[in-house]
Structure 1
Amino acid sequence: MNTIVKTVKQHSYELEKETLKELLFIGNQFKNVKNYVYSRYSGINSIPLLSKPREIRDEWVKSSFANQWKLPARYWKLALSEAISNIKAEWSNIKRRIKEQCKANYNLAKIDKHYINYILKSNELYHRILTHEEYDIPSKFKDVDLNFKYLNNLIRRYTRKYKGKIPYSYKSTTFSVDIGLYSYRDDGINITCTKKGKRLPIKLTDSKKYDRTLIIKVVENRIEVHIPLNIRAKYHKDYENIIGIDKGYKYLFAVSSGKFYGENLNDYLGKETERLNEINGKRNRFYALYNRHLEQGNVKKANSILQNNLGRVKYDHNKLKHNETVKSYINHSLNKLIDKEKPKEIVMEHLDFVNWSGKYPESVKRKLSRWIKGYIRERLEYKCNYNNIKYTYINPAYTSKVCNKCSSFGIRKGDIFTCPKCGEIHADINASVNILDRKDDKEISLYTNYRIAKKILEGRAI
């Protein structure tokens, strides 16, 4: 039976000040190690080193470079390993997106795409091309008429496009511990600290014990212990429907069955947006006053404003509280969708890459933040895997701009899609039906260029 990873949590009681201070120091140094690795090894020139993390570790030990972190060796080695793994994952994601872009590039011949995919499979060849070094053309392409200069430049251009910024970590309250850095006791857990041979005793609210790498997260004056577990996926005999879903304007999803789920999501996001706009407006005025006092040399007044009016504790607490509320509502809505629709397959657009800002009014842009899109996709995929539901991504080109009945192009305005022939229909229901139909569309594949897709759709209009 299929298994998936589920993260369970353990919680501590309130921590003593010295214990909290020590955990925050470890978390901050753990973050600093990872950020150094990101800044030093995320670049193109470090690609060959990513397959040799042990050499990096041994060099740090030999030169005493690691002493600056003031952490037990197991901590910084674990941070190094995690950072290298994340960099590798980042490069894998870059290569995946290059392949997807090449599939959608109708100017490339099949042999051109084959060459690019071949290069991406070899880190050595990929590195040489990115750094403009000489390389031996693979034997299978030597007798083929290819424009190597153009294809290599295309690889470089796509890499620049998807490389992005260095993936720095900003979480100084989170760090990992492997089985050598902690031990359970009857009423809690002991975590290795920076003092040699000593561990911090922390009382937990439950007595369960685990034996794997854990994630320690400091939340205010407590900790959460995150434990990844392999669990069996569920199997539902009565899940027989194939549905299309579309991210709604005022709710989480519109479904091809004609139903909506997560109707209150827009309210949650809207209220928080208004609250933050008001609070940030006030904070900006205090920042201006703070800077003015500094310029005038009134350091005492400036520090008083910084301490009493620009603190982050309450601000971050309320923001975290809202985010957790939204996450809970999203999960509740997804559970309801799966329970009511009983799908064996869900067809959808790739939520991370759908341009919601172009789809919705300016007033909604701020609400549909990046973490919301990423979180919805992550949780939907997780729940599909957990319930043995297949999920299929389709080409999103014009799914919200054509009528699902006659294929005519129409006009979308808010919740309403107006077809010149069929009249008005709910815009998101119309899109969800189009998404479902796109699953079996043999002419418009996932990687069909949007210009070609438009021509095909125009030819289908009745």
Structure 2
Amino acid sequence: MKKLQEIADDYRRVKNYVYTRYGGIGSLSKLYPGYTVQNEMTNSGLRAKLAMPSVYFYRAVFDALGDIKSQWARTKSKLLKLIARNENLNAQEKHYLRFLLKANNAFDAVLNQKPIELPQEMQDKYEELAVEIDLEKLHRYLNRQVRKYHVRMMHTDKADGFYITEKAYRYGESQNGCESNFHTKRHGIYIATKENRKRVFIPLTDENAYTKQLYIRLLPESNGIEIHIPIAIKTKTHWDYTNEIGLSVGILCMLSTHEGNVYGAQFGALHQEWVEYMSMAAGTYRREKENNAGRKKYLARKAKLDAKIESYVNQEINRMIQTEKPKIIYLPKLPANSSAGHNRKINYSVGIWRKGLIRERLQQKCLEHSVQLVEVFGKGISSECSVCGAEGRYSGDVFRCSICGYQADKKVNAARNAIKRGQEKADH
């Protein structure tokens, strides 16, 4: 118990350090996605000072960041309600203030008295909204409300538990013997401690085993612990989600529907940026390996690119579901990565295509919105004509059928075949 209490106490110290350093308005720009904070905390020396394993240190950092983000979300929600009820503001002023609250960069700039600089598309929208309104008056109003309603610096004195990732524990059995050599096996969990390569065994009262993040709550009065397991997310049911759609997944355009709608048009560019960096980094590492080349910068850059892609995938899947309002989605079963080596350049870029991420996030979003996701047989789905069923050909992105003359984008044709195969299967 003493070893676990040491971890819980250090976990509390790290959280309070993050609250103090990043809880104010000056750190707003660092909160999303949080890797700037992670890098700064790595260089702070706090982990070395506490002699804290990385699996606990970084979990405490992101736990505290989550609290700070939630605090800002509550503040923004409160301000949105106040703005809506404020009779001294006209419709255009309210619209402008709502824009500031929803655009993180703009919100940060106003609170920190900086020029508002946004991506070009949003900058144009901002300048459009800023016409014929008193910007200084509205900015002062927003600052006053934040000072009034935003809770001051967070702090916690509780050291009664901590989050633990998969890397910091494993399930197993321990043997307790006696002089008669009679051994009793007990099921339990091995939890990493502050000592290098040392884990403490804790017997459990059930045979459950999990492979996810857990929360360990300490019960020192009974010399025991409670393991809190995250439950499945709450699902939403939408009465107006009644459509059946076919989807096709691609490398350039992430998702295409059977009606020709495209979601994730920039996925190809983001993926190519990721591929080129991975290829370049691998080559550099091979050349410099003998010089003990470190991987710190590589891992930090890769984490940023991963976060960028994952954020974009989530955004576009959300947009697709909100726009299409599907009850059922038919998706071709995605093939496994090729192991062929005859064209190494193509095999590398296609082989590391992150279709697994797209499928995983699509499954998650369908679960959240009570949408049924049906996988259909994918063989030949791009080359089969969705009108007459004959074998066709495609040149570039265009599919052509020589039998019936049908032609369309090859991804749209594949999506049409997906819904066709799915509905035929359901009828049988």
| TM superposition score normalised by structure 2 | 0.48
| TM superposition score normalised by structure 1 | 0.44
